[in-house]
Amino acid sequence: MFDSTLRPKLDPLLERLAATIARAGISANQVTWAGLAIGIAAAGVIAAQFFWLGLVLVLASRLCDGLDGPVARIAGKSDYGGFLDIVLDFAFYGLIPVGFVLADPQANAVAGAVLVLSFYVNGASFLAYAIMAERHGLEGQSHGEKSIFFTTGLAEATETLAVFVLMCLLPVWFATIAYIFAAICFYTALSRIVLAARTLR
């Protein structure tokens, strides 16, 4: 919901950082893989109940996610890079809830499973709509220059990051936060189904 609003404000800073990274000879794909590696570390330290360190690593991972696109635009974009970015993003989104489940399986397992299911359904609606939108020649730039068509919804990257930050700050409330955000993700998927029914005929 907030991605299209925040992106123009963050882009100038990200582009300056990306220029420095590109000059150092670091590729966009290396930045993407670094983001996943940091995300795996974040899930690990969350599982070990070092939640503040997990918070720092979550933010660092998402900084990499914000930088790989600008680096690619400087050094040269590729379809593989766009593909890799999407796949590893989805891996990250699954890793963090799993970290909280491992931190306290008795309290968090069911809520974590519901949240991951909602990510799965929401992600499927996002990717399926993107494929069909390309087939119908639809275009959108509200989220900046992307590899695929991005639809707006209540649950996007900014909201997901905010939820992960809140979970790290309030780990005892993980289950409640997870259930609430899962409901938002399911609603976002449903809204895309309704959008598809209206636009993809």
**Which tokens belong to 191?**
């809204």
The residue count of the chain comes to: 201
The pLDDT assigned to 170 comes to 98
At residue 194, φ and ψ (nearest 5 deg) are -65, -45
The pLDDT assigned to 141 comes to 47
In degrees, to the nearest 5, what angle opens at C-alpha 103 toward C-alphas 101 and 108?
A: 35
The pLDDT assigned to 93 comes to 96
Burial 113-143 (b: 16+ CB within 10 A, else e): ebbbebbebbbebbeebbeebeeeeeeeeee
Q: Note the pTM of the prediction, 2 decimals.
A: 0.84
The pLDDT assigned to 139 comes to 60
Contacting residues for 51 by C-beta, under 8 A, at least 6 apart:
168, 169, 171
CA distance 83 to 18: 19
The pLDDT assigned to 131 comes to 83
The closest alpha carbon to 149, from 117, 196, 105, belongs to 196
Contacting residues for 14 by C-beta, under 8 A, at least 6 apart:
66, 67, 70
Q: What is the mean pLDDT of each run of 10 residues along the chain (201 residues)?
A: 57 86 93 97 98 98 93 89 93 97 98 97 89 71 45 75 97 98 94 85 71
- 55 within 8 A of 105, measured Cβ to Cβ: no
CA distance 18 to 26: 10
